[in-house]
Amino acid sequence: MNGRNVINFDNSAGTYPKPAAVRQAVAGALQKVGGNPGRGGHALSMKAAQQIYEVRRRAAQFFGAEIENTAFAPNCTYALNMVIKGLMQYGGHIIISCYEHNSVSRPVYALTKNSGVKCSIAKIYDDTGQTIAEMEKLIRRDTLCICCTAASNVTGRILPYREIGELARRHGIAFVCDCAQAAGVIPVSIDDGISFICTSGQKGLYGPSGTGLLISSGEFALSTIIEGGTGATSGELVQTPYMPEKLESGTLNTAGLIGLGAGLDFIKSKGIENIRSHEAALCGYFQRELQKLDVHIYDADKERVPIVAFNINGMTSEETAAKLSEGGFALRGGMHCAALAHEALGTSGSGAVRFSPSVFSTRQQVSALIAYIRTIM
């Protein structure tokens, strides 16, 4: 396939197509916004800085945060690394869930190997009360934070992030929330008891790739893991202490971030609830049709963001994804960079196939996919 006629049901990895307004914003930025924001007083730099500030203001508003606590990152993985390592680089204990993406589990694993950090992995139960009670038992005197995803990138299962935030707040520890799959389909906010929201810009926020957000409640200071030019206090060797520049060393992805701003406007105009209900309806339809076939669906009975993870019995996930690709459908098979989650699901060997629509997906496209799946079984 040349990609021209492919139907994208791998929007959890990156929404495509992008809204016209996002494409136009990026093109316009490349054409008209040529300065380096925060790196001078000339007209080009100041114009770029104003545009970046406007995106920052909209992102802050979107997540209920203060403007200065809204930092840009190249992607969600970078944001998570900056927060986890910024909180834990001098040791301590961290709790993560059994549903984490490698962007959480790998930096934590590296810290346990290199920095003496201790880690506990919390199980997620069907009953939220049990999940919180068991998680609370894991909290120790040296626990510094709980880090978990708001929604699994494998099955879409929504974790009780508000209750976990409340638990963390009661114990005076930080709550780091990976919102890569939740942002744009669930109204996550700093007001949900989250100390740090880390998210991708190129998934549910409909921005370009190479954009991400690190949003802080302002309650916990982070050590930096990357230092360099920030455009502030340049005459000193010590990293600027002021947020957000403290966490934004190096030139920002100006065009991409202006595109992200357009993505945020797009979501606002559509409405998060409308986006989620459209995508959830497509997932419901897809799941009901799959259940008529010889297929296993994971976390089928759980509250989820719009994702359906499945395996066709007798086929590996990679085989299924390859056959679907031959038919012009982009779905992701394998491990989804989520070793822990697949272990929890019992799919470490086989992985799973992930279906994830976007606001642009249609029922006709899903019908075509279902018809094609019938032909490959």
Partner 1 sequence: MDTTKTIITMSSITYAMKAKDYLNGLGYWCEVERTRKNIGSGCGYSIIIKDDPDLIAPLLERRHIPYKGIYRL
* 140, 227, 242, 326: residue in contact with partner 1 (rule CB under 8 A): 242
Considering beta carbons, is residue 60 or 307 the nearer one to partner 1? 60
β-partners of residue 197 are 177, 215
Regarding 237 and contact with partner 1 (CB under 8 A), the answer is no
Q: Which residues of 318-331 are buried (b: 16+ CB within 10 A; e: fewer)?
A: ebbbebbeebebbb
Give least dist CB 231 to partner 1, A.
Answer: 5
- Segment lying near partner 1 (by CB under 8 A), choices 45-53, 84-92, 205-213, 266-274: 45-53
* 152, 181, 240, 317: residue in contact with partner 1 (rule CB under 8 A): 240
Regarding 49 and contact with partner 1 (CB under 8 A), the answer is yes
Regarding 172 and contact with partner 1 (CB under 8 A), the answer is no
Considering beta carbons, is residue 30 or 46 the nearer one to partner 1? 46
The length of the chain is: 377
3-state secondary structure 261-328: HHHHHHHHHHCHHHHHHHHHHHHHHHHHHHCCCCEEEECCCCCECCCEEEEECCCCHHHHHHHHHHCC
Considering beta carbons, is residue 90 or 242 the nearer one to partner 1? 242
In contact, 95 and 105? CB cutoff 8 Å: no
Nearest to 164 by CA among 155, 183, 151: 151
Q: For residue 314, give both structure tokens.
A: 């007798």
Regarding 55 and contact with partner 1 (CB under 8 A), the answer is no
Q: How far is CA 283 from the centre of its chain?
A: 19
Ramachandran quadrant class, 233 (left: phi over 0; alpha: psi -120 to 50; beta: rest): left
Regarding 261 and contact with partner 1 (CB under 8 A), the answer is no
- Segment lying near partner 1 (by CB under 8 A), choices 31-39, 99-107, 175-183, 331-339: 31-39
DSSP secondary structure, 88-151, as one string: HTT--EEEEETT--HHHHHHHHHHHHHS--EEEEE---SSHHHHHHHHHHH--TTEEEEEEESB
Q: How many CB atoms lie within 10 A of CB 90?
A: 10
Considering beta carbons, is residue 209 or 230 the nearer one to partner 1? 230
Sites for partner 1 among residues 66-125 (CB under 8 A): 66-68
Q: For residue 377, give both structure tokens.
A: 């079984």
Give least dist CB 96 to partner 1, A.
Answer: 31
* 38, 165, 193, 212: residue in contact with partner 1 (rule CB under 8 A): 38
Give least dist CB 22 to partner 1, A.
Answer: 23
β-partners of residue 119 are 94
Considering beta carbons, is residue 214 or 243 the nearer one to partner 1? 243
Considering beta carbons, is residue 102 or 240 the nearer one to partner 1? 240
In order of 214, 271, 325, 347, the CA distances from 268 in angstroms are 20, 5, 33, 37
- Segment lying near partner 1 (by CB under 8 A), choices 6-14, 206-214, 231-239, 323-331: 231-239
Regarding 53 and contact with partner 1 (CB under 8 A), the answer is yes
Nearest to 143 by CA among 132, 135, 133, 152: 135
- Segment lying near partner 1 (by CB under 8 A), choices 53-61, 128-136, 143-151, 335-343: 53-61
Regarding 31 and contact with partner 1 (CB under 8 A), the answer is no
Considering beta carbons, is residue 221 or 293 the nearer one to partner 1? 221
Considering beta carbons, is residue 40 or 327 the nearer one to partner 1? 40
Ramachandran quadrant class, 236 (left: phi over 0; alpha: psi -120 to 50; beta: rest): beta
Considering beta carbons, is residue 231 or 261 the nearer one to partner 1? 231
Regarding 231 and contact with partner 1 (CB under 8 A), the answer is yes
Regarding 44 and contact with partner 1 (CB under 8 A), the answer is no
Interacting residue ranges for partner 1, rule: CB under 8 A: 37-41, 46, 49-50, 53, 56-57, 66-68, 230-236, 240, 242-245
